[in-house]
Chain A
Amino acid sequence: MISKIIFYLSFWFDFNRVNVLVTLLVFFSFLIYFIGRAKKGKSLFIRRIAGLDAIEEAVGRATEMGRPVLYIPGIEDMDNIQTVASMIILGNVAKMAARYETTLIVPICRPFVVPVAEESVQQGYMAAGRPDAYDKNSVRYISDEQFAYTAGVNGIMLRDKPAANLLFGSFFAESLIMAETGFSTGAIQVAGTANIHQLPFFVVACDYTIIGEELYAVSAYLSKEPKLLGTLKGSDLAKLIIMIILILGAILATANVEWFRNLFFVQ
């Protein structure tokens, strides 16, 4: 009977990947625990991220110069977690822009991102107590094609001359083209992405760069949303466990103990 159940289960369940399931369950239990703590109002410490002040500094500079702020949320769709984090940061940037009465321009690459960006910007203006200042044309769909979008964004940089370019999200080959154009216009640039291959370009061409996972930390820090704070704390605990496993694994592997390493092996 049991063997029959296992036989039928094997169509739905990959027994070779049990360790992935266990890891997921452990990770989710951390998240649920910390989200619960955050919801109860317990203070969760997150260190200040270096590039965070730069965002407000950039918006402030644009205000002083009387020029717009350009926010580029990357070229990926809403099913990418980086775009989701970018939308949270966008809401906060919109709040700052509303407070300083600065024009905000948000060029979009994917149609699904347009409604989310519109709502984020609108919410930001409402949170700042300036719903009347919200301009529907601030969020602009450019093109689905990567380099057509890049050309469009470069055009905005050259003609509208934004004083601050904020690039947060998932970027690919267009990252250097955009960052270089922004640099040539003399704009202050703050960028953040978790795409490691594009980070070098942001590091060389932007004034401040938010590296990898810091992007999610920034969104949690700015929003103070319990779910995001809890997620960040949960992932910190997961990292701590990974560090322990790493050291312990290396020691055990040196002592010819293989079973520990094999626990995490995925085919």
Chain B
Amino acid sequence: MSLVDFMWMSIGALLTLFTFSYLYKDNPFYKFAEHLVVGVSAGYFAVLLYYSSFMPKVIDTVFRPIEWKYFILAFKQIKPEYLLAALKGSQWWYLVPGILGVMMWTRFSRKLSWISRFSLAFYMGIGIGASIPLTLQNYVLKHLTSTIQPVNFTSLTGIWRLLIVILVFCTLVYFFFSREHKGAFGASAKVGIWVLMIAFGAGFGLTVMGRVALLAERVIFLRDYWVELKYFLYMLFKYGMLL
């Protein structure tokens, strides 16, 4: 391992220990790690968005391909054909989302801030409009056809299928808001909430196992760092003695 790699590993190990120090209580080391990650991520995302979005989608597709010679001539001589020639290689329609983005900046002005609502409405409309058919397809129709299966009392599979139909029915009853949960309806809803809790329990166990794996990975990282640190200190001592 090179010295540079070792230094980066040291920073990683130190920050890991700073973060774990929160297990004792809130302290300046944890605060430092917290502020560092918030600050670095804000800067990182600003640069990332500039290079992954603004540069390739606005500068490279709209402005770079413009024939500026014709563009200037079009305005000097008021000839629309020059404008068309200037914009020939440019994908100028990418300017529309660009303008919508610029409109968001009007929030800095109290008088013009209403303009930003158009961008927001467009963004929300596109997002939600695109997700509705997909949600209906993936979360309703596909689940429905998977649940509808032939049932019977002669095989274990048939009994499981019947149980699934009943439990799905009861869970749907729990999420029915137009009626009070009373009587038989209430009893079905109660079964529904039990089904949900069993599912949550299984989900909790599964995720905790995943988190323990993440902890194990960090502990292994710290162990490896300890080995590297011992080697580094040994080398330092050895060369120090030689000198």
Contact = CB atoms under 8 A, between A and B. Distances in A.
Interface stretch (B60-68, B74-82, B134-142): B134-142
Contact of B144 (A44, A214, A232, A246): A246
B124 A84 contact: yes
B128 interface: yes
Contact of B137 (A17, A112, A256): A17
Interface stretch (A54-62, A64-72, A93-101, A140-148): A140-148
B187 interface: no
Interface in A208-267: 211-214, 217, 232-233, 236, 239-240, 242-243, 245-247, 249-250, 253-254, 256, 260-261, 264-266
Most buried by B among A47, A148, A155: A148
A197 B207 contact: yes
A253 B148 contact: yes
Interface in A118-145: 142-145
Most buried by B among A143, A158, A211, A212: A143
A79 B130 CA distance: 9
A246 B148 contact: yes
Nearest to B196: A211
B204 A47 contact: no
Given A23-B140, A79-B131, A246-B168, A45 B178 contact: yes
B38 A78 contact: no
B145 interface: yes
Contact of B176 (A79, A211, A239): A239
Contacts of A29: none
A183 interface: no
A10 B178 CA distance: 41
A36 interface: no
A246 B165 contact: yes
Contact of B178 (A47, A79, A151, A214): A47
B34 interface: yes
Contacts of A254: 150-152
A266 B145 contact: yes
B149 A264 contact: no
A196 B143 CA distance: 15
B41 A249 contact: no
A47 B181 contact: yes
Contacts of B140: 23, 242
A148 B38 contact: yes
A211 B200 CA distance: 11
A47 B179 contact: yes
A187 interface: no
Nearest to A144: B45
Interface residues of A, number: 66
Contacts of A151: 33-34, 37-38
Contacts of A44: 178
Nearest to A48: B180
Nearest to B138: A266
Interface string B86-124: 000000000000000000100100000100100010011
B213 interface: no
B201 interface: yes
B136 A20 contact: yes
B38 A152 contact: yes
Interface in B170-229: 172-173, 175-181, 196-197, 199-201, 203-204, 207, 211
A14 to B, nearest CB: 10
A142 B107 CA distance: 18
A250 B165 contact: yes
Nearest to B125: A79
Interface string A179-190: 000000000000
A102 to B, nearest CB: 23
Interface string B6-50: 000000000000000000001000010111011011101100000
Nearest to B158: A254
B111 to A, nearest CB: 15
A44 B178 CA distance: 8
A115 B116 contact: yes
A84 B128 CA distance: 10
A63 interface: no
B28 to A, nearest CB: 12
B240 interface: no
Given A197-B203, A199-B200, A240-B176, 4 more contacts: A47-B181, A84-B128, A203-B197, A246-B144
12 contacts: A27-B136, A80-B131, A81-B128, A81-B131, A143-B41, A151-B33, A152-B38, A154-B34, A196-B203, A217-B177, A246-B172, A250-B150
